[in-house]
Amino acid sequence: MRRSTLLERSVRYACLATLAVFILFPVYYMIVTSLKSQREVFRNPGLWISEPTLANYAELVRSGFPRSLLNSFVVAGGATVVSLVVGVLAAYSLVCLRYRLRGTIRNALILAYLTPSALLFIPMAIIMSNLRQADTLHGLMLVYLSFTTPLATWLLMGFFSSLPPELEEQARVDGATRIQALYLVLIPLVRPGLVAVGIITFTSGWNEFLYALVLNLSPEAYTVPIAISHLISGDVYRWGEIMAGSVIASVPIMVLYYLGQRSVVDGLSTGAVKG
């Protein structure tokens, strides 16, 4: 039994180590390439650095990349906050209240989220142009709400569904209104779900490319994906700067998932049970 257990653990750890190497290798290669000069990238495209340099990061700072980082934080963060507020109210309504067309609204949410952005970017561009919100950060944030709000609402519905209805009923018996029962009783219980949904929604806005490419044309309104894409000029790929920008862009997401990893795992597992 002991030999069998030891063998099972060895196989398990070997599989986990292989998976870790497979996942972390692109990150390692990205960091290594970002620390190489442009000449070394092409002369020595291997896995080691002969002369590490921070020139790529310095060039990004000089080219205005921090402004793009700030723009992404503003747009993705603003869309996340609004989506969470609207998503909480909408999910509570769709799960805890009884009214006609509730199932139709649920299906419409799924349809809105699953509709490819490639089908919507032209209508969105026309609408934003008519509203004179094109090439602005708040206009881009409004567009992001078209996919972050359905996502947040659908995920939060799973968390509200996992709560027993007796909790709200008891709060109502004690004299609380529906709004008080929601914010004082239900929301604290789905806090891990709120963290998980917030991180996932922020990641969706942070990585979005197509809408930002079509709507924001001035360099002052570039988000991180657009700023990185402009490091490619024709057939010239500035790999060092591209990888440096990718490293910088990855750090906020990695930090978010590291700080909220328990909430993400617990929240998604809870939402998946009754979603």
pLDDT of res. 15? 92
Do residues 240 and 45 make contact, with C-beta atoms less than 8 angstroms apart? no
Alpha-carbon distance of 184 to 178, in angstroms, equals 10
pLDDT of res. 268? 54
Q: What are the structural domain ranges in the chain?
A: 64-274
CATH topology of domain 64-274: MetI-like fold (1.10.3720)
Give pLDDT tens digits for 154-180: 889 888 888 888 888 888 888 888 888
Residue type, 135: D
The per-residue pLDDT of the chain, averaged, comes to 87
Residues 6+ apart with CB under 8 A from 210: 117, 118, 121
pLDDT of res. 265? 63
231 DSSP assignment: T
pLDDT of res. 269? 55
Alpha-carbon distance of 142 to 136, in angstroms, equals 10
Alpha-carbon distance of 53 to 37, in angstroms, equals 7
pLDDT of res. 273? 42
Which parts of the chain have pLDDT scores under 50? 1, 271-275
pTM of the model: 0.86
pLDDT of res. 34? 92
pLDDT of res. 274? 42
